[in-house]
Structure 1
Amino acid sequence: MPTIRNIAVGLPVRDGHVLVLDGRDRVKDASFHRALGGGIEFGETAEQALRREFVEELGVELGRVELLDVVQNIFTYEGRPGHEIAHVYAVESDEIDRIPLDARLHVLDEGSPVRWVPIRETPHPFYPDGIAEIIHARL
């Protein structure tokens, strides 16, 4: 039986841009943006998971973090159902602030592309569900 996955994701925002993973669902033939972060491990708080994931994915340490919301994401990706409870954080990091807005990065542990995207101008949806509203409320 499928399970619900608890995740923690962060939203680095700067100059009207948010740093996100670029994704593609080949079954739907659709592109999307996904907040950076990942699964909360047993015995780990959501904040601890968030900090660990940013080190694993980008090699950066986070400074101040603030829980913005908890959202539920029920979805289909690559033809398979998924269900997440996402703890969504505002994040600050001097290391992230030094990443140029035109930089093209890759997640260190699996290679997905990461970049700054203009919040108000992207044609692609943001995931987990509810992220776009949270980002717009921050501006």
Structure 2
Amino acid sequence: MSEHRIRPLALCIFHHRGKILVNQFQDTEQEQRTLYRPLGGGIEFGERSADAIAREVQEELGLSIHGIRLLGTLESLFTHAGKPGHEIVQVYDATFDDARVYERNEIQGHESDGAAFQAKWCDTTNFSPASPLVPEGLEDLLKSLSLLK
């Protein structure tokens, strides 16, 4: 049996015209719920969380960014795919170097395991209790900063 541990995570909020860029995925264990999460990933040992953001965006989207700034920190306790999770989440804001990215409806990406995904621009009308923006507390944080309408 594997030992439970707290995972350090860095997520980045790319925002444009009241929308944020998110990856949509399914939680098949929880009644086929759709979940939305900003781009990012785990922070590696010895890596600063801001550096993790730049690395993850480059790895997943093949795009460079600048203006990385910390927005806040969240603690997330959850169950996904039937397993408990605990994350400390550094939430950042950044800007794509290529402004043309903001005009695309979707952006093709690849997870570290090679699985393809489509990142898309969403606003609050896309999120609901049945299809939440995760981690918990993120939507409230973004609304308080006027980054999500």
Q: Do they superpose with TM above 0.5?
A: yes
* 1:8-48 CA-partner distances (Å, limit 9, x unpaired): 11000001110011011011110010111001111110111
Q: Cα offset for 1:104?
A: 4.6
Q: Determine if the alignment matches structure 1 residue 52 to structure 2 residue 55.
A: yes
Q: 2:85 maps to which residue?
A: 82
Q: 1:25 maps to which residue?
A: 27
TM-score scaled by length of structure 1: 0.91
Q: Cα offset for 1:52?
A: 0.5
Gaps of 5+ in 1: none
Identity %: 31
AA aligned to 2:116 is G
Q: Decide whether the 8 Å contact of 2:41 with 2:52 is kept in 1.
A: yes
Alignment of 1:8-19 (within 5 A): 8-19=10-21
Q: 2:136 aligns with which of 108, 122, 129?
A: 129
Aligned-partner SS, 1:35: strand
Q: Cα offset for 1:54?
A: 0.6
Q: Cα offset for 1:108?
A: 5.2
Aligned-partner SS, 1:129: coil
How many pairs are equivalent?
Answer: 137
Aligned-partner SS, 2:76: strand
Whole-angstrom CA distance in 1 between matches of 2:140 and 2:82: 26
Q: Decide whether the 8 Å contact of 2:106 with 2:118 is kept in 1.
A: no
* 1:61-109 CA-partner distances (Å, limit 9, x unpaired): 11101101010011000111111000000111132x3222422523354
TM-score scaled by length of structure 2: 0.85
Q: 1:120 maps to which residue?
A: 124
Whole-angstrom CA distance in 1 between matches of 2:141 and 2:9: 16
Whole-angstrom CA distance in 1 between matches of 2:4 and 2:88: 14
Query: CA-atom RMSD, angstroms?
Result: 1.4
